[in-house]
Amino acid sequence: MAGQSDRDLGMTPPGADRSTDSYLPEHGNGGYRVLHYDLDLDYRVVTNRLAGKAIITAQAVQSLSRFSLDLGRLRVDEVRVDRQRADFTHRAGKLRIKPDKPVGYGATFKIEIRYAGAPVPIAGRWGDIGWDELTDGALVASQPNGAPSWFPCNDRLEKAGFLVRISAATPYTVVATGDLVSRRRGATSTTWVYERSEPTAPYLMSVQVGRYELIELAAGGVIQRAAVPPRLRTVFRHDFGRQPEIMAALEAMFGPYPFREYVVVVADDDLDDPIEAQGMAVFGRNHLDGQRTHERLVAHELAHQWFGNSLTVADWRHIWLNEGFATYAEWLWSDVSGGPLAGAHANHWYGWLAARPAAVAIADPGVDRMFDPMVYKRGALTLHALRLRVGEKAFFAMLRSWAAEHRHRTVTTSQFRNHAARFTTESLDDLFTAWLDRPELPPMS
């Protein structure tokens, strides 16, 4: 379908609307890069209807007689490019646009898309990802491929700024990733405006709608808020009571928190796993039990703000740079908070991995193993092995400068290897090759 007619349209070379990501080849589009997304949304909770207008500011990196965006199953009503109506087709998750006249190489242009419908998650090998209805509200958890479930985007790991304006019935609290710019209450609905000025990958944008109470978690320092069902307020305050201390501990180890605020949302539904978004983490009510059973996940999600969100992998095959680091943060927090030492966690998980077939080279685990616990645990063990090799001082200096030098950018495994090499006089090639490139589990030290 796409091939023949697309070539007929002219100047864009074949394949230009394919992503460069090796694990998500069907997402992402070539020929331009997005600078900014302006999303104006109206959401009806009871009927799960979303109506939106997206204004996307992009820059052409080649002359464009046509281009495409990713968008799930919402209906597109109108597309304009630089205010002129444009022809489009929308099939199989691709919105293909043919502007009235080609966009010149290097030109900055605006794409305006009106769309509506009942948002549904993107189905795939990881289950249902993206905009999801809750019992009484909605949540968005898009890693890795759910962003097109609620807005048209270039769904690759390229970062842009965002402005999200969203209206919903007044009893509901709406939290979107970003700083709250304004909240205006109308007769029946309230409009919330959030601005995300730090460059952000589409998958890290999120909207949370529910009957939440907003709680302040920390005074001074990084603003820490929570959106929690009122009846869970007390248990939440206990289970997340040490989050400000976790924030301080991670800042001491990783450097300054990379955003202005951190918002924790507890959905009034059970969720399999908590999930990170930009400046935000989303937990299920099942992650609260009044006994801090899941405190390691509080540390894990917070650590993603440095590793995953500020530093975002340039390609999903580098996922261990997110998950190995966030897992190691769990062990580090355990260590500094009087729990088992990081080395004890390392020994435990080394044994766990040794009891399994060595099937994953974590520098490129394969798309089916992207979220495999082996990638998480072995990624953390790689960092522990590196720490044993280079020593405490060099290890933490290396981590802090890794976070600082690549703040709000994308990163790769080879960049990390080169970075770590600066902190020791001896070669780390054998260590990284054994831990990252080969499936066999190497000795710990």
Distance spanning both ends of the chain, measured CA to CA: 55
- Min separation Cβ 158 and Zn ion, Å: 21
Only segment of 75-83, 106-114, 248-256, 317-325 that touches Zn ion (CB under 5 A):
317-325
- Min separation Cβ 393 and Zn ion, Å: 27
Nearer to Zn ion (CB atom), residue 247 or residue 428: 247
Nearer to Zn ion (CB atom), residue 143 or residue 410: 143
Nearer to Zn ion (CB atom), residue 326 or residue 375: 326
Nearer to Zn ion (CB atom), residue 112 or residue 330: 330
67-70 and 94-98 beta bridge pairing: antiparallel
What tokens were used for 405? 């030098």
- Min separation Cβ 105 and Zn ion, Å: 39
Cα 182–chain centre separation: 24
Cα 72–chain centre separation: 18
Nearer to Zn ion (CB atom), residue 239 or residue 323: 323
Of 206, 204, 226, 229, nearest to 216 (Cα)?
A: 226
Number of residues that bind Zn ion (CB under 5 A): 2
221 burial via Cβ count (<10 Å: 0-12, 13-18, 19+): exposed
Only segment of 50-58, 203-211, 320-328, 433-441 that touches Zn ion (CB under 5 A):
320-328
- Min separation Cβ 141 and Zn ion, Å: 12
Residues β-bridged to residue 194: 164, 180
- Min separation Cβ 273 and Zn ion, Å: 8
- CA 311 to CA 321: how far, in whole Å? 9
Report if residue 326 touches Zn ion, rule: CB under 5 A: yes
Nearer to Zn ion (CB atom), residue 229 or residue 284: 284
- CA 101 to CA 309: how far, in whole Å? 37
Structural contact between residues 134 and 269, judged by C-beta atoms closer than 8 angstroms:
yes
Q: Which residue has the tokens 């099942």?
A: 286
Structural contact between residues 157 and 147, judged by C-beta atoms closer than 8 angstroms:
no
- Min separation Cβ 146 and Zn ion, Å: 15
- Min separation Cβ 265 and Zn ion, Å: 16
Helix (H) or strand (E) holding 262: strand 261-267
Neighbours of 311 (CB within 10 A): 26
- CA 207 to CA 209: how far, in whole Å? 7
Q: Which residue is nearest to Zn ion (CB)?
A: 326
Of 199, 407, 405, nearest to 306 (Cα)?
A: 407
Report if residue 281 touches Zn ion, rule: CB under 5 A: no
Only segment of 67-75, 88-96, 326-334, 340-348 that touches Zn ion (CB under 5 A):
326-334
- Min separation Cβ 275 and Zn ion, Å: 8
Nearer to Zn ion (CB atom), residue 90 or residue 287: 287
Nearer to Zn ion (CB atom), residue 66 or residue 300: 300
- CA 130 to CA 204: how far, in whole Å? 10
Which amino acid, 217? L
Q: Count how many Cα atoms sit within 13 Å of the Cα of residue 121 in the half-sphere of its side chain.
A: 20
Nearer to Zn ion (CB atom), residue 79 or residue 266: 266
Only segment of 113-121, 123-131, 321-329, 353-361 that touches Zn ion (CB under 5 A):
321-329
- Min separation Cβ 304 and Zn ion, Å: 6
Only segment of 2-10, 150-158, 204-212, 315-323 that touches Zn ion (CB under 5 A):
315-323
Binding mask 412-441 for Zn ion (x = CB under 5 A): ------------------------------
Of 387, 160, 398, 415, nearest to 313 (Cα)?
A: 415
- Min separation Cβ 346 and Zn ion, Å: 18
Nearer to Zn ion (CB atom), residue 323 or residue 364: 323
- Applying CB under 5 A, which residues contact Zn ion? 323, 326
